């Protein structure tokens, strides 16, 4: 029973319900393909966080986006 | 100083303030009963996540609920 | 299907197998008592970490233990 | 830059290096297919934990395995 | 590429955008000073959680604040 | 009581005890400088993980290191 957590920034209105359904499906498949188990029990959770709350190299994604 | 994190789906309006108080108390007690320490220092955090953001077996809880 | 994670320091040889069994049982019970669900599906994971890798107030548990 | 964390039990000698390489690749692909981004920046981390430290329904995987 | 996560309570209107920018900068610097790497790749994420969802010694921060 | 978690790869024999002491101190200071609280209560935990268990862009750090 693997637990897969995805932490991603909330961009352009956020991930849609359909995208999250697809993501859960595809991540689960990926795990099953490699380990031949977890098909029914694999858990996927998604955390969407503000671009103000995510930084790389000491700079928030909000600010990185402004420059690019 | 154990740190106990609970990740749960946000259902039926979400956990109430009272439920979260009880949960913190009972989880702390559970830890203390087993390890005889942590009574004052045990930390409990609760993450409530949307049923769209939680999937089992590649299917979101939102969709699982619809079928049942 | 709540996911309960316990992060605790590895002390005095570490938690025994029996303690971890009890902990899983008691934490699950605590959740079920409050929310009336999760009896069969509640997941408990335990992370034991070195006292060198856990600090409070800027000081590692290893060093705090030495002083007390 | 999504961060994908996989928490899985350490079974049968643990995941091999090759399995972890494949897993990282496939999970990254899955994310990219859905969101059309993250190809170079997606981070995948894997936590393997003892079957003594993972429980479902209040029972450790170690004990569940014994019964089956 | 260290990943630094900060879990903090949402107090007094929450951390401002400026505070989160500073925090990301300073935590990244701290890591770089110690390990001489990670300057461009260090990731910082911040989770702000309700004082109802954070407890110490079995009591929520909300209730602790009321008493003090 | 902020909780700061650092997830880093285990490189060149791993972080020393002294580095982890310094890291805990500096991260705590960084938090206190920004928020003017947490001096005594800030928790820092460090997870060191194998370069086989950490990937970027679908490739493990182990393999990235080999190429560079």
E strands along chain D, which residues? 3-9, 43-49, 54-56, 59-60
Identify the band that residue F59 occupies on the pLDDT scale cut at 50, 70 and 90: very high
pLDDT exceeds 90 at position B53: yes
What number is the average pLDDT over the span B30-50?
97
- Cβ contacts of A46 within 8 Å, gap of 6 or more: A5, A6, A8, A15, A20, A23, A24, B49, B53, B54
CB pairs under 8 A between D and E: 8
What number is the average pLDDT over the span A1-5?
95
User: Which are the catalytic amino acids of A?
Assistant: 2
ipTM value, please give it: 0.96
**Can you name the residues that pair with D38 across neighbouring β-strands?**
none
For D36, which DSSP code? S
Q: Is the minimum CB–CB distance between F1 and chain B shorter than 8 Å?
A: yes
Identify the band that residue B13 occupies on the pLDDT scale cut at 50, 70 and 90: confident
Please tell me the distance in Å from C4's CA to the nearest CA on chain D: 10
Q: What is the pLDDT of residue D11?
A: 85
State the Cα–Cα distance between residues A12 and D34, nearest whole angstrom. 14
Tell me which chain F residues have a C-beta less than 8 angstroms from the C-beta of D43.
54-56
Give the tokens for residue F4: 């700061």
Identify the band that residue A68 occupies on the pLDDT scale cut at 50, 70 and 90: confident
Asked if the Cβ–Cβ distance from E55 to B29 is below 8 Å, we say no
State the Cα–Cα distance between residues C25 and D58, nearest whole angstrom. 4
CATH number assigned to the domain comprising residue A44: 3.30.429.10
Q: Is the minimum CB–CB distance between B64 and chain E shorter than 8 Å?
A: no
Residue in chain A lying closest to E45 (CA) = A54
Q: Is the minimum CB–CB distance between F66 and chain D shorter than 8 Å?
A: no
Average predicted confidence (pLDDT) for chain A: 96
Please tell me the distance in Å from E3's CA to the nearest CA on chain D: 9
Write out pLDDT tens, residues E1-50.
899 999 999 988 899 999 999 999 999 999 999 999 999 999 999 999 99
Domain count, chain C: 1
What number is the average pLDDT over the span B16-20?
97
CA dist A27 to A22, B48, B57, D3, F14, Å? 8, 21, 10, 13, 31
Asked if the Cβ–Cβ distance from C24 to D62 is below 8 Å, we say no
Tell me which chain C residues have a C-beta less than 8 angstroms from the C-beta of D57.
28, 39-42
Asked if the Cβ–Cβ distance from B49 to A47 is below 8 Å, we say yes
Asked if the Cβ–Cβ distance from F58 to D25 is below 8 Å, we say yes
Per the residue annotation, which of D2, D31, D32, D38 is the catalytic one?
D2
CA dist D59 to B9, C37, C47, Å? 21, 16, 16
Measured CA angle at A32 (ends A30, A37), to 5 deg = 160
Please tell me the distance in Å from B9's CA to the nearest CA on chain C: 7
Write out pLDDT tens, residues F4-57.
999 999 988 899 999 999 999 999 999 999 999 999 999 999 999 999 999 999
Q: What is the pLDDT of residue B51?
A: 97
Identify the band that residue E57 occupies on the pLDDT scale cut at 50, 70 and 90: very high
pLDDT exceeds 90 at position D54: yes
Q: What is the pLDDT of residue C11?
A: 85
Q: Is the minimum CB–CB distance between A66 and chain E shorter than 8 Å?
A: no
Q: Which domain holds residue A51?
A: 3-67
Would you tell me which residues 9-48 of chain C have a C-beta closer than 8 angstroms to some C-beta of chain A?
Answer: 43, 45
Tell me which chain B residues have a C-beta less than 8 angstroms from the C-beta of A25.
55, 58-59
CB B23 within 8 A of CB B61: no
Q: What is the pLDDT of residue C13?
A: 85
Tell me which chain E residues have a C-beta less than 8 angstroms from the C-beta of A54.
43-46
Residue in chain F lying closest to C9 (CA) = F45
Asked if the Cβ–Cβ distance from F26 to E33 is below 8 Å, we say yes
Mark the ranges of chain C whose per-residue pLDDT is less than 70.
Answer: none
Asked if the Cβ–Cβ distance from C30 to B27 is below 8 Å, we say yes
Identify the band that residue A40 occupies on the pLDDT scale cut at 50, 70 and 90: very high
What proportions of chain D, in percent to the nearest 5, are helix, strand and coil?
45, 30, 30
Tell me which chain F residues have a C-beta less than 8 angstroms from the C-beta of C58.
24-25, 28-29, 39, 42, 44
Q: What is the pLDDT of residue A38?
A: 94
- CB-nearest to C57 from F17, F20, F42 is F42
Which among E54, E30, D52, C61 is positioned nearest to F23, based on CA atoms?
A: E30
Q: Which residue has the tokens 């643990």?
A: D14
């Amino acid at each position: 029973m693997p637990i897969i957590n995805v932490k991603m920034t909330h961009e352009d209105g956020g991930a849609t319900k359909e995208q999250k359904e697809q993501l859960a499906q595809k991540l689960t498949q990926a795990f099953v393909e490699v380990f031949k188990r977890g098909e029914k029990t694999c858990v996927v959770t998604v955390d969407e966080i503000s671009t103000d709350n995510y930084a790389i190299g000491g700079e928030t994604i909000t600010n990185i986006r402004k420059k690019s």
